Amino acid sequence: MVTKIVNEDMTKALEEKVSVVDFSATWCGPCRMLGPVMEELSAEMAGTVGFYNADVDENPQLAGKYNIYSIPAVLVFKDGQLVGNVVGFRPKADMKAFIESKI
């Protein structure tokens, strides 16, 4: 399950051993395509990786903090530290490989 980030609060995501945060927006076509991919990966990688979504329109300060200028932007955190990011839609196999390379 992908947990929605609200009120600019990424505390839970940063407390995870490994977390993936998908910065997106409801009006973004590639973001809507990536959403189901992230849901599938969250089910497959449950217990290993925490999955989160931050809507840039609802969390503008958070997007600014992480220099999100293009969406979708997927950030991977390990022990609370940013270890990788990718911008744009990626097929499920590519996204999974990217996440696994950061674990």
Residues serving a catalytic function are 28, 31
- Amino acid identity, position 78: K
**Which residue, among 9, 102, 97, 1, has the nearest Cα to 55 in the 3D structure?**
9
| Whole-angstrom distance, CA of residue 52 vs CA of residue 8 | 12
Q: Which two tokens stand for residue 49?
A: 């990786």
Residue with structure tokens 């609370």?
Answer: 80
